[in-house]
Amino acid sequence: MKKFMMFTLVLMLGILAACSSNNSENASEEKNSESEDKAFTIGVIPVQTEGEIEEAMTKLQGELSEKLDQEVEITTFPDYNGVVEAMNYDQIDMAYFGPLTYVIAHEKSGAKAIVTQLIDGEPFYHSYIITNAENEWDTLEDYLEDSEARSFAFGDPNSTSGSLIPSIELQDRGVFEDQDKNDFASVAYTGSHDATALSVQNKQVDAGAIDSAIYNQLLESGKIDGDQLKVIWESEKLFQYPWAVSKATDDETIDKLQNAFLSIEDETILNAFGASGFTKASNDDYESIRSAADKQGLLDE
């Protein structure tokens, strides 16, 4: 009897172990299947309020989906901060950031820069301050001589070239602390680079800050008139906008993404970013922006 009971117990344990093994294998297969079916999500900052960005993003989705062998979904967010928060709360796998928003995202969630665009073969751009060509001043010094009578426009508050870098320049010149404390007749935030350019062209503001690459792109596309605008200040070189992945992204996926971007030749995609191509990027490339953001206390928030 005891032998029979022992045999029965062993048999039952064997059956339970087999069931457990099968369940584990099924769960593992289901998890892998879900992982393969899950779309790779990308968030994009609103660099411009107009343009062929929708067609470009559709084409980019297609190219990345093919190279990653996984569905890719790209969403353009209404503001810069929205992309940072989406990365912070694991709502997206990758993001196209401005340098400042990248630095903030890296501090908040460990986002990692892996790719950036090339402009005329180089991964750099500048912050410009522009004014209407009919205005008498040709330099920033001339413009600031009577700052109390003149208006100024930044872009998005979280823009590197449209806000951070020019605000530091104006602070160093002693005419600007913030939107409420400054020596201008008025200070506005337009929300985007093309809105700033049009505001200056239409004489709604006397001068404004803009990304140099986007400024040139707007000129080439005819969205702004080069005869009605002039540049009165240019910053030092800034490293271009990064494409960054979430902290948890594995090396194999990063390699696939880098190779996919570096192989892009579609003119619609490249033109949407004013790019001649793409190149690899790393967190170290944004050290100067990190220092500028730290100087402004933007990393303490």
- Summarised one tens digit per residue, pLDDT across range 55-88 is 889 999 999 999 999 999 999 898 888 999 999 9
Enumerate residues 6+ apart whose C-beta is below 8 A from 186.
151, 152, 205
> Can you tell me whether residue 235 is helix, strand or coil?
coil
- Two tokens at 229? 């605008």
Residue 245 per-residue DSSP state: E
Q: Which of 124, 158, 180, 197 is nearest to 292 (CA)?
A: 158
Q: Please, are residues 139 and 233 in contact by the beta-carbon 8 Å criterion?
A: yes
- For 247, phi then psi, to 5°, come to -55, -35
pLDDT in tens, 114-150: 999 999 999 999 999 999 999 999 999 999 999 999 9
Cα separation, 205 vs 187, in Å, equals: 9
pLDDT in tens, 237-278: 999 999 999 999 999 999 999 999 999 999 999 988 889 999
- Two tokens at 268? 């619609």
Enumerate residues 6+ apart whose C-beta is below 8 A from 47.
53, 98, 192, 193, 211, 214, 241, 273
Cα separation, 119 vs 275, in Å, equals: 5
pLDDT exceeds 90 at position 211: yes
pTM: 0.82
So where are the chain's domains?
A: 39-123+240-295, 127-235
Q: What sign for the dihedral angle of Cα 168, 172, 175, 180? A: positive
Average pLDDT estimate for 172-177: 97
Q: Which superfamily does CATH assign the domain made up of 127-235 to? A: Periplasmic binding protein-like II (3.40.190.10)
Looking up tokens 């390699």, which residue turns up?
Answer: 255
Neighbours of 282 (CB within 10 A): 13
Q: Are strands 186-189 and 151-154 parallel, antiparallel or unpaired?
A: parallel
Cα separation, 48 vs 52, in Å, equals: 10
39-123+240-295 maps to which CATH number? 3.40.190.10
Domains 39-123+240-295 and 127-235 share a fold: yes
Neighbours of 73 (CB within 10 A): 15
- For 132, phi then psi, to 5°, come to -70, 140
Cα separation, 45 vs 81, in Å, equals: 9
Give the pLDDT band of residue 36 (cuts 50, 70, 90). low
Enumerate residues 6+ apart whose C-beta is below 8 A from 109.
87, 88, 246, 247
Q: Please, are residues 128 and 236 in contact by the beta-carbon 8 Å criterion?
A: no
Q: Please, are residues 46 and 79 in contact by the beta-carbon 8 Å criterion?
A: yes
- For 21, phi then psi, to 5°, come to -65, -45
